[in-house]
Structure formats: structure tokens, C-alpha cells
Amino acid sequence: MFALVVRFDIRDEESAVRFDELTEQAVEQIRAKEPGTLVYATHKVNGEPLARLFYEVYADDAAFQAHETAEHVIAFHAAKNPLLVSHRVEFLAPAAAKGLPA
């Protein structure tokens, strides 16, 4: 099991609305088609209306690779990228937790 956090900084308010729409569509597909994606939680950042934070947990590397190569994820990335100023990915090694598989 491994996890990652992604921070997205969005261009403007109009782009943020579109980003959120795309995110909702992608999450629906992730729920339906990705059993190895254990957590895919998206967040708005308090006090930063143009920032979004995603927390993702995958059962293993194969689940992450399945996610990354899924058509709905590729389409999400292609549609959202023009809306962004920047993004940052941090890979995590889960430690003590509540709510994650042991």
C-alpha cells in the first residue's frame, strides 16, 4: 500500500469551477472502475479558493499503475492541465493510521 498527496493551483475562478466539474466526473469513474484505489479524497483548501488537494491511497503499485493508465484518468489529466498554474505531487509511505488497511 502507498499513498500520495497532490496540490493543484488553479488559474482563476472560472477554471476552478471547470476543475471541480472534471474532478466530480473523474471520481465517479474511479469509484466504479478502480477497486485497488482505496481512498481518493479531493479537498478545497480553506482560505485559498484556487487551490485543491487530493489524497490518494492505493492497494499496491499495480493498482496505482491501473489508475494512471485508465482512460478516464488520462482524459481527466488532459482536460484539467490547461486550467492549472502549477501542481505538486508528494509520494507517502503510510505509517500509523485509522481507516487504512493494516
Which DSSP symbol is given to 13? H
Residue 101 reports pLDDT greater than 90: no
Instruction: Tell me what pLDDT residue 50 has.
Output: 98
Look up the domain containing 7 and give its range.
1-51
In a domain, 43, yes or no: yes
Instruction: Tell me what pLDDT residue 94 has.
Output: 79
Instruction: Tell me what pLDDT residue 55 has.
Output: 97
In a domain, 13, yes or no: yes
Q: How many CB atoms lie within 10 A of CB 15?
A: 16
In a domain, 101, yes or no: no
In a domain, 83, yes or no: no
| pLDDT tens by residue, 62-87 | 999 999 999 999 999 999 999 999 99
| pLDDT tens by residue, 4-19 | 999 999 999 999 999 9
In a domain, 96, yes or no: no
Confidence band of 20 (pLDDT split at 50, 70, 90): very high
| pLDDT tens by residue, 47-68 | 999 999 999 999 999 999 999 9
Closest CA to 55 of 90, 102, 19, 17: 90
Q: What is the spatial distance between Cα 98 and Cα 102, in angstroms, rounded to a whole number?
A: 9
In a domain, 2, yes or no: yes
In a domain, 35, yes or no: yes
In a domain, 58, yes or no: no
The structural domain count of the chain equals 1
Closest CA to 23 of 57, 3, 52, 59: 52
Instruction: Tell me what pLDDT residue 102 has.
Output: 72
Q: Are 25 and 5 in contact (CB under 8 A)?
A: no
> Within 13 Å and on the Cβ side, how many CA atoms surround 67?
22
Q: Are 4 and 90 in contact (CB under 8 A)?
A: yes
